[in-house]
A and B are shown apart, each in its own frame.
Chain A
Amino acid sequence: MSAWSYTILVTVLLLNLLLAVTSRLSVLIRGFAIQAACIAVLALLLDGFNSPHAWIVAGGVFTLKVVLIPYFLNRAVVRTNARRELEPLVSYGTSLLLASLGVLLAFALAARLPMEARRAGLLLAAAAFATMLTGLLLLVTRSKALTEVVGYLVLENGIFLFGLTLLNRMPLMVEMGILLDVFVGVFVMGIVVYNIHRTFDHIDVGALTSLKEEEP
């Protein structure tokens, strides 16, 4: 692994910590987009700049995750007027602690993988696990629907990063299918978020746990 991919992987790890502590949705979305851009560059670095396969994958990731999805998410932020996540289920200090524990766990997990999955080094697998765990953390501990969408996307970033360890073995169709799934998923979630906002006047998913009508 070159010095560049090493630096990019450390950046991905740091972005995970940023995503875990920020309360601003705009920072969250930008952090996710930068992480996706890092992963696109990493796909090129790991597979060589001559492989058309890597160019297609990186291009797909870039168009969808760095340009389109952040654009739609930012629009949703403006439309629902939800700029900050004010009441996470777990405080931001604890989130940071949990995210760093996640990094520790990720390194422990990565060290136990069989050699085949560590083709590109321990750090790639560790960064992939850490990103998945951060996505999971965002999904579980945040109460705004938009933050949870970003959590899902970060989780997917981690899965994609893990896929990079086997990039030259994964069929192109599978990668493209996953990307398309993610895009459609975000699209649908965007509509759902907007409708939650229209119905409840906020996008707090806590309101969805009680689906019966209020007693008079």
Chain B
Amino acid sequence: MTLPWWNVGAVLPALLLSPLLLGLMGKTKALVAGRKGAPLLQPYRDIIRLMGKGAVYSRTTTWVFRAAPAVSLASILVACMMLPAGPLDAPFAFAGDLVLFAYFLALARFAVIAGALDTGSSFEGMGASREAAFSAFAEPGFFLVLGVLALKQKALSLGPILGGADVITWDGQTPPLVLAAVALFLILLAENSRIPVDDPTTHLELTMIHEVMVLDHSGPDFAFILYGSALKLWLFGAVLVSILLPGGGPAWASMALFLAGMAVVAVLVGLVESIMARLRMARVPQYLSLAGVLAALAALLLMAGGQP
């Protein structure tokens, strides 16, 4: 199903505002720790500064390394186009696009992993191996959450599931939806390399997961990676907000509600990062399987017919 070209506008909030989420998160962490913190617009400045620099490539790398940032950003952008933003419909939608959505995110991750392996650095290989392992644990949970939503909305496309006219209502299905939302939040933290799974501000390569994979990228390449991770955070946040917030009402009101919801998600992630310690590496699979189990329980409850 193709929609009018002006639906491309639904991507604009993600394109323009996603780095702001990172800024908001950093600000929250700083305020909780009693610091003043970087300005909210710092991620934009970082990206612009990096875009103006030249890139340095090691002689051991091949085209895989050079292609990685572009491929990953492009796949995330395509995934963005499948997601409705509040009252705005997604630019394109078809039955079953939620599988494609999940696998475009996987393709983005694959590109970064391949790029990291291409450098031949042992640290980056280690990070790549961790990223691959943990995302394998996160994937069943993510699919189960999407399955729960599909089951609830009786649709197979992200557009009708998350937004549009038929928003998710909570009629008597509060427990399964709350479980799915909690599972999705746990997965959001893991997929966006946040505490308790990964620490984005660590400076010890041995404990890094995502950051260590992108150590060798510089200049515009690194800007792509930064922007891509901001967009990915936006994608997960948008799914979460669409589950939790009611829709309906005038378009501007639900748009405002949606944006406010995204801000709350960013602050919430910042708070989690402030009050929690990172899990031991060996506990991460357990953490992720907890997310999967919660999502599975939600699916089971919905299939059992929900509240009689």
Contacts and interface: CB of A to CB of B under 8 A. Distances in A.
Interface of A: 1, 3, 6-7, 10, 13-14, 17, 21, 92-93, 96-97, 100, 103-104, 107, 111, 121-123, 126
Interface string B265-308: 00000000000000000000110011001001100110011011
B37 interface: no
Given A93-B285, A107-B300, 10 more contacts: A10-B301, A14-B297, A17-B290, A21-B290, A92-B286, A97-B293, A100-B297, A121-B308, A122-B304, A123-B308
* Interface magnitude class on chain B: 10 to 19
26 contacts: A1-B308, A3-B172, A3-B174, A3-B307, A6-B172, A6-B307, A7-B174, A7-B175, A10-B176, A17-B290, A17-B297, A21-B286, A93-B285, A93-B286, A93-B289, A96-B289, A97-B289, A97-B293, A100-B293, A100-B297, A103-B297, A104-B300, A121-B308, A122-B304, A123-B308, A126-B304
A126 B297 CA distance: 12
A119 B307 CA distance: 14
Interface of B: 172, 174-176, 179, 285-286, 289-290, 293, 296-297, 300-301, 304-305, 307-308
Contact of A123 (B172, B285, B304): B304
Contacts of B293: 17, 96-97, 100
A13 B175 CA distance: 11
Contacts of A10: 175-176, 179, 297, 301
Nearest to B301: A10
A22 to B, nearest CB: 12
Nearest to A104: B300
A96 B290 contact: yes
A3 B177 CA distance: 14
A93 B308 CA distance: 33
Contacts of B305: 122
Nearest to A100: B293
Contact of A122 (B179, B285, B308): B308
A13 B176 CA distance: 12
B286 A96 contact: yes
Contacts of A104: 300
Nearest to B308: A121
A64 B234 CA distance: 49
B302 to A, nearest CB: 12
A17 B294 CA distance: 9
A126 B172 CA distance: 19
A95 to B, nearest CB: 10
B52 to A, nearest CB: 47
Contacts of A3: 172, 174, 307
A17 B289 CA distance: 12
A13 B179 CA distance: 12
A111 B305 CA distance: 11
A103 B300 CA distance: 9
A92 B286 CA distance: 8
A132 to B, nearest CB: 17
Contacts of B172: 3, 6
Contacts of B174: 3, 7
B263 to A, nearest CB: 28
A10 B300 CA distance: 11
Nearest to A106: B300
Contact of A107 (B179, B304, B308): B304
Contacts of A7: 174-175
Nearest to A93: B286
B307 A1 contact: yes
Contacts of B307: 1, 3, 6
